[in-house]
Amino acid sequence: MENNKNMRAWLDDFKLSHPLVIAGPCSAETEDQVLAIANELKNSDVSIFRAGIWKPRTRPGGFEGIGETGLKWLQKAKAETGLLMAVEVANVSHVKMALEHDIDVLWIGARTAVNPFAIQEIADALKDTDKIVLLKNPVNPDLSLWLGGLERLYNAGIKKLGVIHRGFSTYEKSKYRNNPEWQIAIDLQNRFPDIPIICDPSHIAGKRDMIQEISQQALDLNFDGLIIETHIDPDHAWSDAAQQVTPDTLKQIFKDLRVRKETDEADDFNNRMNKLRTQIDDLDAKLLEILGKRMKIAEKIGTLKKEKNVAILQSSRWHEILGKMVLEGEEKGLSEEFVLKLFKAIHQESISHQEKVMR
């Protein structure tokens, strides 16, 4: 898949002076609920109304969506408000029904994105469509899998493509429902800068009081838009109640958000930025030099362990180091999450160096 500026054409067609906004309930519940939310959003920054029609639940027994009936409600909402309509599709049957009801935007969810067979079937069903198709990242942090799904859609002749970053599942304790792992989204942006990228702060956060913070982070990273779950009575929503906001709250969020310029052409800005980047480059080089020296010491430790027939992993020593580094990191303004990731990576590299000398 090659970079192609035409991929951004569908986004440019909106002629927006602000990021693209997709909003609406996690699930379409009743016709009155859908119409009430859509009418609340029609005179706001929202361009596309979203509603879940089919809801893939982790375990059976929960509300799994209203089904095809809800598509008629979306048709009525479009007629009343002029907003484009968006739904999630997980199989060919969903695609067929969505197209029959002239849904404007189809997105493929994180659970479906992990399955290349399902993506290929959906791509074949959408072949050469002029609909906007958005692909969420897979639940696991795998850039290749995300890109592979995107390539399958592109190869099917779908030109109005975009991606949604909704975070990644993890077993580790985190303040997020799904860890953002921003670097993966940044890597995708760097590989294909012409593909519009939209952030889903609702699924990253899992709770409404973090929506503003995550939305601002996404805009600071030059994302093209946001998709935010919005409900007239969030606390009584039939699915994902904790992460939905009211239309009024959504409007306030967008009043408070700051949209950044991509750059600044002023000489003063560029001169100061270049000086700061030079400092960063110098420190990065020193970091690599220190890490290289650390691994040399790790190899010496491995040699000593080999001589004395001692196991590589010393759990008590490892936990002692980790606890100490977290405390020292906090004193230096570094988050626990960052320190843990950093030293886990350093520890794994140290083990690899010790393994080499112990073979």
- The string of pLDDT tens digits covering residues 60-70 is 777 888 999 99
Model pLDDT, residue 63: 82
CATH code for residues 5-256: 3.20.20.70
- Looking at the chain, the domain(s) classified CATH 3.20.20.70 span 5-256
Tell me which residue of 110, 226, 225 sits closest to 178, measured CA to CA. 110
pTM of the model: 0.83
**Residue 85: beta bridge partners?**
49
The CATH fold assigned to 267-358 is: Chorismate Mutase Domain, subunit A (1.20.59)
- Looking at the chain, the domain(s) classified CATH 1.20.59.10 span 267-358
146 half-sphere exposure, CB direction, 13 A CA radius: 28
The answer to whether the Cα torsion of 279, 282, 284, 287 is positive or negative is negative
The helices-and-strands tally (H runs, E runs) of the chain is: 14, 8
Residues contacting 234, CB < 8 A, separation 6+: 208, 241, 244, 245, 246
Model pLDDT, residue 103: 98
d(CA 12, CA 332) in angstroms, rounded, equals 43
Assign 188 a pLDDT band (cuts: 50, 70, 90): very high
pLDDT in tens, 133-154: 999 999 999 999 999 999 999 9
- Of 53-67, 244-258, 307-321, the one with minimum mean pLDDT is 53-67
The answer, yes or no, to whether residue 80 has pLDDT greater than 80, is yes
